[in-house]
């Protein structure tokens, strides 16, 4: 019996192979356009894992190393909670509303609870990988964006209020913007270029962080007490994980295993290196010492700034963008912040917001057509240097829209949540530390 089945299998396999071999080649070529590609799929699974690693443990370590000892676990809890919560919301309707359907404002509910993502299903946005994988990859972006915002309110926001905020912000702010820029919404149609999230992720998180820091209020003792980081070595490890993960973040945004991914990771890595060196030397020059916190801040600034440009620019552009990123973000964190006196605990605005906006504008300057050329658009997306100054204006338009939507909606959302539950812990609890008062645990 067994032998009979095996023989039948072999026979059918041979038949299939023969029919494939003799099939007319044009038909085969036509078919591959929307076929799942093994190499693309393999790379995108790896890239998804890398981006997830950026949040847990990358961002969790980066952030927790910069707070005081009494708030280390609470800060890690924010990154962890974002991962759990946003994953489920993304599965339920976040993906569908962001990436299914090409209406100008919002996607559809066609993939509610991922119904219809069959074995063969692909998204028109990523035709060579399973749609489920595209969903998963984008999920890891949603997670880290929400987790990034948490850094601005570290040390004082109540955990329960943060959970309400994370869920609400994903739905009201992240999902629409992701659709507008990446899901075929009105910013995509206007031609805004954002390869891996300069607007959707970094500017968005930075602006939300600034507004949240303002609404929640300054930390107790801000400006008087010593807020020196508990353990910067944790932040260094976190930065390393972010940096490596970013190769999946930007390289994976090519949505396939090809030359564009290679260009993206090269520009990314060079921008991170240049950003870190720039910040380090600026600090050495102005403050007398090249701090480790300065180096890692510069690296993350370079990474955030190259993000929107990474798949549109050449390696040397990455160096220039990294240089600008290190300088601008250093200025934002050491001058702008003190000038305006907002207490963005971990500089979400100064590093990510300013970096994301700068990078989005620089994409309009440096974009090289050949990197994004396709059969549909043979000229690709070009920037100012290739004689297309209009792109810079389109980029500015994208930045302004994201800035306003993120700023206004974050404000409204926090005001509504603040009306229902207290946003921050009591002064007594803040002094005791969030680890103990929010989670009942403490580092010894």
Residues that bind another protein (CB under 8 A): 66, 226-229, 287, 289, 291, 293-294, 297, 333-335, 337-338, 347, 350
For the bound state, the minimum distance from the C-beta of residue 185 to another protein, rounded and expressed in Å, comes to 35
Give me the helix-helix angle, 159-169 and 131-150, nearest 10°.
140
For the bound state, the minimum distance from the C-beta of residue 227 to another protein, rounded and expressed in Å, comes to 7
Cβ nearer to another protein, comparing 334 with 406: 334
Q: How far is CA 131 from CA 59, 81, 121, 374, 389, in A?
A: 27, 25, 6, 21, 35
Cβ nearer to another protein, comparing 350 with 356: 350
Distance CA 391, CA 372 (A): 14
Beta bridge partner(s), residue 424: 157
For the bound state, the minimum distance from the C-beta of residue 309 to another protein, rounded and expressed in Å, comes to 24
For the bound state, the minimum distance from the C-beta of residue 333 to another protein, rounded and expressed in Å, comes to 5
Residue closest to 197 by CA, chosen among 408, 353, 381: 353
Cβ nearer to another protein, comparing 347 with 430: 347
Cβ nearer to another protein, comparing 229 with 251: 229
DSSP element (H, E) containing 252: none
Cβ nearer to another protein, comparing 199 with 334: 334
Beta bridge partner(s), residue 123: 126
The DSSP string of 177-188 is HHHHHTSS-HHH
The length of the chain, given as a count of residues: 444
For the bound state, the minimum distance from the C-beta of residue 68 to another protein, rounded and expressed in Å, comes to 11
For the bound state, the minimum distance from the C-beta of residue 286 to another protein, rounded and expressed in Å, comes to 9
For the bound state, the minimum distance from the C-beta of residue 340 to another protein, rounded and expressed in Å, comes to 13
Residue closest to 311 by CA, chosen among 192, 394, 204, 196: 196
Residue closest to 355 by CA, chosen among 147, 137, 204: 204
For the bound state, the minimum distance from the C-beta of residue 64 to another protein, rounded and expressed in Å, comes to 15
Distance CA 366, CA 361 (A): 9
User: How many other CB atoms are there within 10 angstroms of residue 223's CB atom?
Assistant: 10
Cβ nearer to another protein, comparing 148 with 173: 148
Cβ nearer to another protein, comparing 69 with 439: 69
Q: How far is CA 225 from CA 79, 231, 336, 341, 431, in A?
A: 26, 17, 20, 15, 11
Cβ nearer to another protein, comparing 294 with 398: 294
Q: What angle do CA 252, 143, 237 make, to 5 degrees?
A: 75
For the bound state, the minimum distance from the C-beta of residue 315 to another protein, rounded and expressed in Å, comes to 29
Q: What angle do CA 41, 46, 48 make, to 5 degrees?
A: 95
Q: Residue 126 carries which DSSP code?
A: B
For the bound state, the minimum distance from the C-beta of residue 442 to another protein, rounded and expressed in Å, comes to 20
Cβ nearer to another protein, comparing 150 with 298: 298
Cβ nearer to another protein, comparing 40 with 347: 347
User: How many other CB atoms are there within 10 angstroms of residue 3's CB atom?
Assistant: 7
Scored b (16 or more CB within 10 A) or e, 323-333 reads bbbbbbbbebb
């Amino acid at each position: 019996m067994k032998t009979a089945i095996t023989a039948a299998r072999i026979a059918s396999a041979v038949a299939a192979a023969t029919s494939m071999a003799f099939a007319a080649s044009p038909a085969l070529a036509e078919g591959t356009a929307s076929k799942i590609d093994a190499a693309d799929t393999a790379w995108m699974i790896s890239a998804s894992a890398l981006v997830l690693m950026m949040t847990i443990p990358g961002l969790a370590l980066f952030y927790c190393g910069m707070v005081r000892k009494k708030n280390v676990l609470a800060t890690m809890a924010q990154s962890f909670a974002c991962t759990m919560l946003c994953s489920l919301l993304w599965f339920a309707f976040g993906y569908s509303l962001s990436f299914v359907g090409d209406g100008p404002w919002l996607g559809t509910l066609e993939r509610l609870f991922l119904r219809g993502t069959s074995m063969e299903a692909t998204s028109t946005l990523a035709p060579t990988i399973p749609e489920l994988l595209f969903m998963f990859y984008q999920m890891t972006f949603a997670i880290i964006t929400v987790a990034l915002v948490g850094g601005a309110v570290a040390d004082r926001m109540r955990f329960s209020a943060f959970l309400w905020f994370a869920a609400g912000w994903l739905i009201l702010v992240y999902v629409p913007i992701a659709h507008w820029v990446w899901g075929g919404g009105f910013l995509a149609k206007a031609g805004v270029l954002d390869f891996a999230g300069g607007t959707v992720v970094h500017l968005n998180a930075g602006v939300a962080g600034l507004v949240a820091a303002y609404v929640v209020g300054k930390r107790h003792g801000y400006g008087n007490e010593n807020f020196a980081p508990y353990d910067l070595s944790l932040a260094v490890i976190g930065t390393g994980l972010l940096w490596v993960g970013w190769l999946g973040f930007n390289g994976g945004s090519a949505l396939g295993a090809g030359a564009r991914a290679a260009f993206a990771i090269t520009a990314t890595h060079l921008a991170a290196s240049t950003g870190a060196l720039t910040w380090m030397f600026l600090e050495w020059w102005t403050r007398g010492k090249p701090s480790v916190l300065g180096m890692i801040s510069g690296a993350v600034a370079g990474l955030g700034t190259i993000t929107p440009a990474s798949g549109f620019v050449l390696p040397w552009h990455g160096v220039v963008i990294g240089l600008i990123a290190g300088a601008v973000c250093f200025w934002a964190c050491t001058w702008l912040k003190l000038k305006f006196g907002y207490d963005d605990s971990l500089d979400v605005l100064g590093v990510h917001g300013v970096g994301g906006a700068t990078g989005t504008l620089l994409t309009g300057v440096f974009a090289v057509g050949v990197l994004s050329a396709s059969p549909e658009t043979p000229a690709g997306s070009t920037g100012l240097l290739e004689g297309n100054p209009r792109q810079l204006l389109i980029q500015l338009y994208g930045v302004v829209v994201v800035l306003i939507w993120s700023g206004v909606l974050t404000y409204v959302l926090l005001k509504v949540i603040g009306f229902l539950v207290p946003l921050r812990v009591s002064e007594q609890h803040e002094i005791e530390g969030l680890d103990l008062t929010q989670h009942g645990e403490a580092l010894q």
